Amino acid sequence: MKHINKILILILLGLASHFATAQTGGGTVLVVVNGAKITSGQLNEWVNVAVSEGAKDTPELRQSVLNDLILREAVSQDAKKTGLLTTGNNAFKIKLAEQNAVLELWFAQYFKAHPLSEADVKAEYEKQVSLSKEPQNTKEYKLSQIVTNTEAEANQIITQLNKGASFAVLAQEKSLDKTSGARGGIMGWALPSQLVPPINSVVPNMAKGQFTVKPIQTNNGWHIVMVDDVKPFVLPSFDEAKAGIAQALVQQRRQEAVSALMKTIKISQPGK
C-alpha cells in the first residue's frame, strides 16, 4: 500500500489544481469535506488499484482508503487557501513530481513486458562465479558516475570537482543517468569485467576516493567515474547474493530501456 500511495501522491500533486473536479466522481456521496464530495466511485477506483497490487478488498482497507481521501482533500483545500502551490518553486516541484510518476509508470510497463525471473538472477550469479576466477576480478569497486551528452560538459564538471564541488550534488543536477543520479551518482559494487569498455580498463587503476581526470566515452555518453570504495572480491552464496543481483539487473534493464528509447527519438537544436 505504501508503494501505491507514493505513486498516487505524486500524481495527485501534479493534478492538484484540478483536484476539486476530480473529487466529484460518480456514485453515492460518502462524506462531504468543507463542501467537497467524496463518492463511492472515487473510493472504488482507489480500492481497485490497491487490489491490483495484491491487497484484499476488506472493510478495513476501504475505511483506510476513505480516511486517506478525506485527509488528501483537507490538505488540498488548505494548500489552495494558503497559496502553497504557487509559493517559491513549488509549482516546479509539482510538475517534477508528476513527471517522475509518469517515469515510474513507464518503467513499470517496461518490466511487465520484460519481467525479471529467478532464472535470470541465477544465470547472472553463475556468470559472476565464472568471472570471479579471472585475474582482473580479484577486487570489486563501489562506483559512482555522472553521464553527460558532450565531452565539454564533462570537462566542466571535472573542473568543478577539482575545485571541491560535491560529486553527489553534481550527479543529481547534471547526470543523464537519472537512476544513479537520483542517488547521487551511486551505481553500487561491480567487478571490472562487469563494466562497459573502456571504463572496465580504467577503474582497476584508480584508488578509493579518486575520480577520472578525463571523461570516458561510451555509447551512453561521456562518463565521469568515481571510486567510492574498494575491497577484495569474495563470492557470496546464491542466497546471500540474489537480492543484490536482482537489484543490479533491475538497474541494468532500466538503463537498457532508456538507451533503446533514446535511439528512437530525434533531438534537434533550433538554429543548428
Q: Look at residue 47 in the predicted model and tell me its pLDDT.
A: 95
pLDDT band at 8 (very low <50, low <70, confident <90, very high): very low
CB neighbourhood size of 26 (10 A): 9
**Would you place residue 39 in the very low, low, confident or very high pLDDT band (cuts 50, 70, 90)?**
very high
Q: What is the mean pLDDT of residues 62-85?
A: 95
212 in Cβ contact with 206 (< 8 Å): yes
Joined together, the cell numbers standing for residue 44 give: 472504488
Q: pLDDT at position 25, please?
A: 58
Region 213-231: mean pLDDT is 96
pLDDT band at 194 (very low <50, low <70, confident <90, very high): confident
- Domains of the chain are 2-111 (no CATH), 133-234 (3.10.50.40)
Position 17 scores a pLDDT of 36
Contacts 24+ apart (CB under 8 A), 66-73: 66/30, 66/31, 66/38, 68/5, 69/38, 69/42, 69/43, 70/31, 70/33, 70/38, 72/12, 72/19, 73/19, 73/23, 73/33, 73/34, 73/36, 73/38
User: Would you state the pLDDT for residue 3?
Assistant: 44
